[in-house]
Amino acid sequence: MSKLFDLSGKTALLTGASKGMGLAMATALAEHGAKVVISARKQEAIDAAVQSINETCGAQLAHGVAANAGYKEALRDLVEETHQRVGPIDIVVGNAGVNPYYGATSEISDKAYEKTMSTNVQSNLWLAQLVVPDMIEKGGGSMMFTSSIGAFKPSEMLGTYGMSKLALIGLVRNLAAEFGPKGVRFNAICPGLIKNRFCP
Ligand SMILES: NC(=O)c1ccc[n+]([C@@H]2O[C@H](COP(=O)([O-])OP(=O)(O)OC[C@H]3O[C@@H](n4cnc5c(N)ncnc54)[C@H](OP(=O)(O)O)[C@@H]3O)[C@@H](O)[C@H]2O)c1
């Protein structure tokens, strides 16, 4: 168990956490003692991730629940399942993000636009609406959403993705203003290019 800080007794819920940065963040939270509920869409990858986290920390700290973050009902079920299995939530990492379209923003279909915005932005508003009551009741909590350096400059081919990540920063700022005084912290992280299976 890492001694950098102690998250024993805390419960963390993560979306987009069966692979990549989400899995790395879930593993680090568990290594610091938190119980983690990880979610993604594919159950097989979730099961493998749960096993990997538990092996890494040498304790049964990880649980896996399948949920597509782009749908409000799925997130409601995810939060309910987390409450039943582990209890009220202290930490949220809204990491699920999609980019279903590579092309000019002016030519994007309504469907691709809505999918980008619902998964990358509104999902995190839904998570806040569902979980902030837990945090206020406990007297504090932390919600962290994964934005991107793509938020900060225009792009001819990835513009809508960048728009969604900039909107996510706007969401974080507003939720922080609203709930910071009640002890709930909101932050966005903005990774640069991170190597995953899409960029070998
Ligand atoms: N990689 C980069 O260079 C980079 C840079 C800046 C920001 N980001 C952002 O960082 C986050 C993670 O990226 P990554 O590169 O680490 O991703 P990744 O390695 O491709 O992993 C994505 C994870 O999210 C899950 N996921 C995808 N769509 C989902 C959905 N609709 N609902 C729930 N889970 C979903 C995937 O599992 P399933 O497929 O089973 O759902 C997987 O667990 C994203 O928000 C991305 O936009 C990435």
What is residue 181's three-state secondary structure? helix
Q: Of ligand 1's atoms, which has the minimum distance to the CA of residue 21?
A: 16
What local confidence, expressed as pLDDT, does residue 196 receive?
Answer: 79
At 60-94, the pLDDT tens digits run 999 999 999 999 999 999 999 999 999 999 999 99
- Which pTM does this prediction carry? 0.97
pLDDT for 36 beyond 90: yes
The amino acid that residue 186 corresponds to is F
Structure tokens at 56: 């890494």
Tokens 């809508």 appear where? 160
Q: Rg for the chain (alpha carbons), in Å?
A: 16
Which of 41, 65, 127 best tests ligand 1's pocket when mutated (most atoms within 8 Å of CB)? Answer: 41
pLDDT at residue 98 tops 80: yes
Q: Which protein residues touch ligand 1 with a CB less than 6 Å away? A: 15-22, 40-42, 45, 68-70, 95-98, 119, 146, 148, 191, 193-194, 196
Residue 45 pLDDT more than 50?
yes
Residue from 47, 68, 95, 144 to probe ligand 1 pocket by mutation (most atoms less than 8 Å from CB): 95
Please check the confidence at residue 199 and state whether its pLDDT lies above 60. Answer: no
Contact 131, 90 (CB under 8 A): no
Give the distance, in angstroms, between the CA of residue 14 and the centroid of all CA atoms in the same chain: 5
Give the pLDDT score at 195.
Answer: 86
Residue 3: pLDDT band with limits 50, 70, 90: confident
Give burial (CB, 10 Å; 0-12/13-18/19+) of 71: middle
Tell which atom from ligand 1 comes closest to the C-alpha of 191.
Answer: 6
Read off the pLDDT band of 200 (50, 70, 90).
very low
Atom of ligand 1 nearest to the CA of 194: 3
Q: Give the pLDDT score at 197.
A: 66
Q: Hey, which CATH number is domain 11-189, 3.30.2080.10, 3.40.50.720, 3.40.50.11540, 2.60.120.260?
A: 3.40.50.720
For the record, the structure tokens of 157 come out as 């081919």
Residue owning the nearest CA to atom 47 of ligand 1: 97
Domain ranges of the chain: 11-189
pLDDT digits (tens, 9 = 90+) for 99-156: 999 999 999 999 999 999 999 999 999 999 999 999 999 999 999 999 999 999 999 9
Residue 115: the pLDDT is 98
Q: Which residues participate in catalysis according to the annotation? A: 161
